[in-house]
Structure 1
Amino acid sequence: SGYSPIEDDEDVYARNRYKETPWCSPIKVKHGNANCRTPQGEYYKNVLGTRCDIRCQKGYELHGPQQLICQSNKRWSGKVLCKQIRCPTLSMPTNGGFKCIDGAYFNSRCEYYCSPGYQLKGDRTVTCMDNKVWSGRPASCVDMEPPRIQCPSVKEKTAEPNKLTARVFWETPEGRDTADGILTDVILKGPSPGSHFSEGDHKIQYTVYDRAENKGTCKFLVKVRVRRCGKLNAPENGYIKCTGDGDNYGVTCEFSCIGGYELQGSPARVCQYNLGWSGTEPTCTPMNINVAVRTAAALLDQFYEKRRLLIVSTPTAANFFYRLQLGMLQPEQCGLDLRHVTVIELVGVFPAQIGRIGVKLLPAALALQLRLLLRIPHYNFSVVVMDKHGMDKERYSFPPTPAQLFALIDTFPLRKEEMKLQAETGQSCT
């Protein structure tokens, strides 16, 4: 009879009823599953009218309709396929790359790396997500490491004799980029090699840039030393004039005295390599005029390169021009001393003739020789102006004013240098 006590009556009935009903082939979804609902119960899940919801496993996506229906032609209403989820292919970073454990498929992890000299910017690791995008930010490789440059060590040099500078050379340092080896610019801050450097320390800096505008710098010092003997001072009642900086190796310092003083010691001293001065320390002592000489030439030699002479000659002390001349000169003694002028008076006619330099009297014979040597008239008033080299510069037959005399003397070659020195030391008659 076909009845089995272990079978449900309704199931037997249903089987008999749908025995001739077309059935669809069983649904097999690779990497997925089908959840089917039938009009006749679970046992008849492939019968006509069965509806199956298709779902894919995690990491897979459905291609086709989400629901299939078993049709009367014994075919399902569509075709489905679960394909593995795949993210877009990652772009290869410039100057770097990446490694993935499972290509670009779901849950694959890719790790970025950079070539030597470049640094990673962004996320080092990204993962392919189920929404077909990569987690994180794709990385890039950027040159963030500064280029390298090595400067020379400290450069030290001593100035040559008579010089306050030294010429210093060095090899220009070359930069090296750790990435692509290309440098765009090299900038020097400070004097270039071969320049003349003054005394002291000078900072030299080189800066290099790469194409990513990273910069590298290096610094070094140029040290220039000047050998010095120490400053010399002008002697009291005298002047000092030095070449160079006044105390550097090789310079010469010359000394002179103001009018009425004579130099004792070395007239010039040189700064030597051992940092000592040559010669002996000079002093200025009051000039001692020797009137006990035999000739007028010997008398004049005492003033050579030391004093200028203003010789006033008169036939008698009562001469009007003579008295007028002395009256004008007496209040101008400062101006005469400032210009290194010594006044010699020749008064009278031989044999009643005398000479005088300040308070010192000249023998009559010496006074006569002086008139004869300089061709000064005996019987007329006369004034003779002589420079420090014994040259006859001007003659007057009447009393010149101090202003005339000073204007004349100030034009003499040596006088210009004297005025400069006197201005520096503050000597004046004001």
Structure 2
Amino acid sequence: IDRAMENGVGWSEPIPGCEPVCPSAPKVKNAVVACDSATDIGSICKYVCKRGFELLGRPTTTCLLDVTDSTANWEIGLPRCQRTCDKPIEIENGAVSCQKSGISAGQTCEYSCNSGYELRGEQKTVCTVSENGSSWTNAPPSCEPVCGAPPTIKGATRTCDSGDMATYSVDSKCQFECGDKSRMVGDDSVVCKKNFNGEAYWSDSRPSCIPTCAQRTIHTPPMSVECTSGRDIGSTCSFACNELTTMEGDESVRCIEDETSREPVWSDEFPKCKPLCRQLPKTEAKLISCDNGNNAGSICTAECADLGYELAGNAAVSCSTSKVKVDMEKVLLSNESNRKSFNVEVEAFEEVAQWDGNLGVCERTSCPNLVMIENGQVACTGSKYEDTCDFECNDGYSLEGPASVTCLSGSRWSSTVPRCLPIPEEELAECPALKTNPIIQAECTLGQKERLTNCKSLSARSI
């Protein structure tokens, strides 16, 4: 160091000395540094992380003198800059809150919705970082409008398609059903809808339950019912059984108001349909007797009314019950109108009654076959009851006995078989004699001498 002498007495300045200084401020990745006095002892440098990074550690470092070796250096423990996530996206009709102000790795943020809205998606999201960047673990959810608790209808039970919940999404549907002593008026359901402002509400159609007579079970087949006003007070219900059953009880029942309780009650029990066998066919020749009509369990016997007839086949049959498969589709359609008024139970199998056989038929009794008569012929209409046989003798013979017999009851003929006897010669000599004979009728042919030359017997009958 050059110093000049002043007036030949001494140096113009004190002799300088060398003081230690710190090296240039150390760099921190993804940060900028600003120092207040370069690298002198006591200088302070401050670090600021770039956008998208967060400072971890002390934000400053100081240039210090090491007294052991009179050197200067920056204090130990530099900060570092760690990547951070962007601020979480705000959602409509909701809010997001984070555990702390900074969005560092591992930071959890939670979404919530305003009243009348429900979260759709993940409620929480976490900030994750890597060498390649940062991101949130889940996409932002949405806040969808929801309905609160559905309305309550007095006297009705409620069933919702999404179960029993605190809130219901748009298009959710709740169904109502009145008890067995009431009837629903109006729509039987409400739906969660959304208005023009994006708010959810329950549809305005609200059903109500009005008192009615109790719902009763109708088994079909075989029963059907038609009511003037369903189960309302004053309604008359008329019942009918199909052709295979018979009704037990009154054909009609009314819904009336009980004088004491003032509640709707049925005037009587509902009738029942009992299995019934078909009517047995009757004829004039057959008498049928049944111990219980055509009802199940009845036994019917038959006998012939005329002694000239006898029963061929079963003398008795029994009415028994069995199960037959039902055409379910036809039954459901035919009873659709009754389903809202009554508990219609469709039977897969119907109990029907059938005779276990057929009664025999009355047939005419038979007479024994007649023997052929000698010197004659017989012509018969048959050999059964009321049939007849006619007899005729050959030429030259006359009939002794009835010319006709009839088959009577008891398998007997009305008379014995007649005989054909020869006509005497003297009765054949002259035609006049033949003509006047009370037994013989003849035709005569006259010859030239007006004498009978030939006589031919046409028929011979007993008188």
TM (norm. structure 1) is 0.31
Decide which structure has greater strand share: 2
* Bigger CA radius of gyration: 2
Decide which structure has greater helix share: 1
Structure with the larger RCO, 1 or 2 (CA within 8 Å, 6+ apart): 1
